[in-house]
Structure 1
Amino acid sequence: MSKWIQVLWPSFLVAGIAEIVFFTLIDPQELYLLGEPVHLSETATYSIGFFGFWLACAASSLSTLFFQRTAKDINAPH
């Protein structure tokens, strides 16, 4: 449980900051996806954007935990 908290909580905070910065600079009604305008409500666009940022930040935090393992942890018998 502790490892999940170490991954999800910091990534949640950074995703919130990324969302604020991104949508301060870009209007959600002017977004394009694959050359087509996005026809979603602003709330849906904000929500999808937040979860996308959270997923990317969680992947980053998870990879950090993965690469912090020692040789002893990796080679320990299960």
Structure 2
Amino acid sequence: MAEAGIDISAQAPQVLTVDAIQAFDVVITMGCGATCPVFPGKTYLDWKLEDAAGQGVDAVCPIRHEIKALVEGLITEIAPAGP
């Protein structure tokens, strides 16, 4: 992420909590499948992505680009229409 100008050095993966899910309209998981809690009325998307853990920059960059494209597509899909 540093070569993209984003400092995540102080970040760590977080557990998806029940409280967090209840606060979200859209829940995006990356491979947790049936282990994630499910609540009625929420939109669930499971993005199948290669695991970047322990891989070098050459392997991680395409995954980062894929995530960016998925996020941009989701924003376009759920953003309210302009005036």
TM-score by length of 1: 0.37
- Higher-strand-fraction structure: 2
Quick check: which has more Rg, 1 or 2?
1
- Higher-helix-fraction structure: 1
